Structure 1
Amino acid sequence: MNNHHAALWSASLPPTGERPYRITHHQRTKQRVNRQEPQERQQRQQQQEQQQLQWERLHHLEKWTWEEELDGGGNAPFIRCPPPLNLIEEEDKTTDDMETFEEDSLNIIFGKKQIVAVRVVMSVPDNVSAVRTAVVVTHGTGGDVNLKRLVSLARVLASNGLLCLRFTCKGLNLVYRVKAYNAVLEHLKYLKKFTIRQIFFVGRSLGARAASALARQLSVRPEDAVAGLVCLSFPLHPPGQTHGHRQRSEDLRGLPTEVPVLFLSGTADNMCEKILLEDVVKEMRCPTTVRWVEGGNHGLIVKGRTEESVQDELNAHVLSWILERIA
């Protein structure tokens, strides 16, 4: 990041004393990304994921856990966010099928009793002055900011003029996830370089539960309500335990009419039985759209289809749904 960019970034932030958090490890890279990600980038991303896994094993961190332990009771294990991985700068290639945008990387640190580090990557469209809509995206239980599906979605959104923040929070308790989501949202509101009028939440699995919980909390004040919520593979119940769907759908059923919701789930998802989600949708007060990925499991993997074709379908659904609501 050169001095000019650093000055612009610093000017966009409020004085430190006005922020309920602090920021570390800020980086910026300008990327020119092909919609069909090159094989070389995928290999580098796999290397990053292996490095992170090795770091977690070295520090005896438990990356995966069952969803049924994460209902916000306060007893689920808490994991600090690993140090941010170095961003890989893309080669400056210029072809007609590529879109240019910038990505900023930073850590948001908040909390009193337990300090939480949340890694954020912000995909910024080239035309900053035209940005009016922001999308905040987060992962599920075992993912992070580098989750391939969310990286792809974020870059499609940024390529179409939407500011996108995706973040990692390794807290495996729903309460911590909601707090982390809110911290990222507060940071977004403090950014003076953008004129944001609508904010959408996108969450995958446990991230969708956190997004719906925060969306419901914010809806108490109409001026704070989000413009919409996208739930990717909403974990309506633990595997084989469908009786848990009432508790997990409480925030969804509590959303007001002003917060539309898009569900994207697989018909073979063992954590979201189709008939149960359809019943929940009937009880919801807000406008809802449900898109089923035929044969998709909880990870939205479909036997007989390439991962890229499924991802293109998901990206198209999310992008068109958001654009329809900001038109």
Structure 2
Amino acid sequence: MPVHILELELHRRPVEILVPEETNPDAPLLILAHGAGNDMHSPFLSTIADHLQEEGIQVVRFNFPYKVRGKKVPDRSEVLEDSWRAVIEWVQENLAFSGLYIGGKSMGGRIAAMIAADVSDLKGLVFLGYPLHPPGKFQEIRDIFLYPLEVPMLFIQGTRDAFARMDLLQETLNRLRDRATLHWIEGGDHSYRVLVRSGRHYPEILKNVGHLVAGWIRSVQKAPASETA
């Protein structure tokens, strides 16, 4: 699908948005943000976005200001949050879609959750490797902003992810009850990479992730409003 890059100015810092040339009012749209160490052009996000689009899910990706400036250290939290808000506002004002979903890889998904309560007509959240805690710091659980959210949430997590110990993530999702759906990527790390001896190929894993996300979005789209509120 042809796309083009737009730039928004935020706090005198540019935010780059990768947008489809045309959008379909009858198709859902997912906005994806990158993780702290990559950008919207990373093979991880690009591959998953391509598979989503093949399955009829429109995808918008964007770069936080620090990546546009070529920096490695993320912007402060307020800038990351405002970047998300600016992109969502632009999408809602300029693009056609049948349902809005937001999320992303690691930090991108976490920041999406932090501002999700302020987003009107949001259908759901997608977490591609939720960073529940820093590696090895199991007391620093980043979950408090998840519990007030009333929209469906999809978590796709590697079983070897150093940012989310399996039992701790399961405890968090148990508290979210039926709002949360979890898919484990067996043997996957924070980017779903598996050990060579597993015999599994990374492109196929990412294709499956795209399929899981697309299927979940379709199920949310079909659910009665009372079940997704």
In the alignment, which residue of structure 1 is the partner of 2:71?
none
Q: Distance in 1 between matches of 2:24 and 2:39?
A: 29
Q: Distance in 1 between matches of 2:13 and 2:170?
A: 36
Letter in 2 for 1:185: I
- Structure 2 unaligned regions, length at least 5: 67-73, 223-229
Q: Distance in 1 between matches of 2:61 and 2:110?
A: 16
- Structure 1 unaligned regions, length at least 5: 1-100, 219-223
What SS class does the counterpart of residue 290 from structure 1 fall into?
A: strand
Q: Note the alpha carbon deviations across 1:26-73, whole angstroms, 9 max, x for none.
A: xxxxxxxxxxxxxxxxxxxxxxxxxxxxxxxxxxxxxxxxxxxxxxxx
Indicate conservation of the 8 Å contact 2:25/2:98, yes or no: no
In the alignment, which residue of structure 1 is the partner of 2:40?
145
Task: Trace 1:198-237 onto structure 2 (pairs within 5 A).
Answer: 198-218=99-119, 224-237=120-133
Query: Equivalent of 2:86, from 174, 183, 202?
Result: 183
Query: Equivalent of 2:174, from 282, 285, 298?
Result: 282
Letter in 2 for 1:135: L
- The CA RMSD over aligned residues, in Å, is 1.7
Note closer, same or farther for the CA distance 1:161–1:312 as it changes in structure 2 (3 Å cut): closer
Q: Distance in 2 between matches of 1:162 and 1:314?
A: 13
Letter in 2 for 1:228: G
Cα drift, residue 307 of structure 1: 1.4
Query: Equivalent of 1:240, from 128, 136, 152?
Result: 136
Cα drift, residue 124 of structure 1: 4.7
In the alignment, which residue of structure 2 is the partner of 1:253?
147
Letter in 2 for 1:154: A
Task: Trace 1:29-48 onto structure 2 (pairs within 5 A).
Answer: none
Task: Trace 1:99-178 onto structure 2 (pairs within 5 A).
Answer: 101-111=1-11, 115-124=12-21, 128-169=23-64, 170=66, 171-178=74-81
Cα drift, residue 198 of structure 1: 1.3
Note closer, same or farther for the CA distance 1:106–1:217 as it changes in structure 2 (3 Å cut): same
In the alignment, which residue of structure 1 is the partner of 2:216?
321
Letter in 1 for 2:103: V
Note closer, same or farther for the CA distance 1:266–1:315 as it changes in structure 2 (3 Å cut): same
Return the index of the structure with the highest Cα Rg: 1
What SS class does the counterpart of residue 96 from structure 2 fall into?
A: coil
Q: Distance in 2 between matches of 1:104 and 1:131?
A: 21
Q: Distance in 2 between matches of 1:185 and 1:230?
A: 15
Cα drift, residue 285 of structure 1: 5.5
Q: Distance in 2 between matches of 1:129 and 1:303?
A: 39
Note closer, same or farther for the CA distance 1:225–1:251 as it changes in structure 2 (3 Å cut): farther
Cα drift, residue 226 of structure 1: 1.1
Indicate conservation of the 8 Å contact 1:141/1:172, yes or no: no
How many residue pairs get aligned? The number is 211
Indicate conservation of the 8 Å contact 2:25/2:97, yes or no: no
Cα drift, residue 249 of structure 1: 0.3
Q: Distance in 2 between matches of 1:232 and 1:162?
A: 16
Note closer, same or farther for the CA distance 1:216–1:130 as it changes in structure 2 (3 Å cut): closer
TM-score (norm 1): 0.61
Q: Note the alpha carbon deviations across 1:87-110, whole angstroms, 9 max, x for none.
A: xxxxxxxxxxxxxx2212111112
* Larger relative contact order (Cα-Cα within 8 Å, sequence gap ≥ 6): 2
Is 1:267 matched up with 2:159? Answer: yes
Note closer, same or farther for the CA distance 1:286–1:210 as it changes in structure 2 (3 Å cut): farther
Indicate conservation of the 8 Å contact 1:109/1:118, yes or no: yes
Letter in 2 for 1:200: Y
Cα drift, residue 300 of structure 1: 1.4
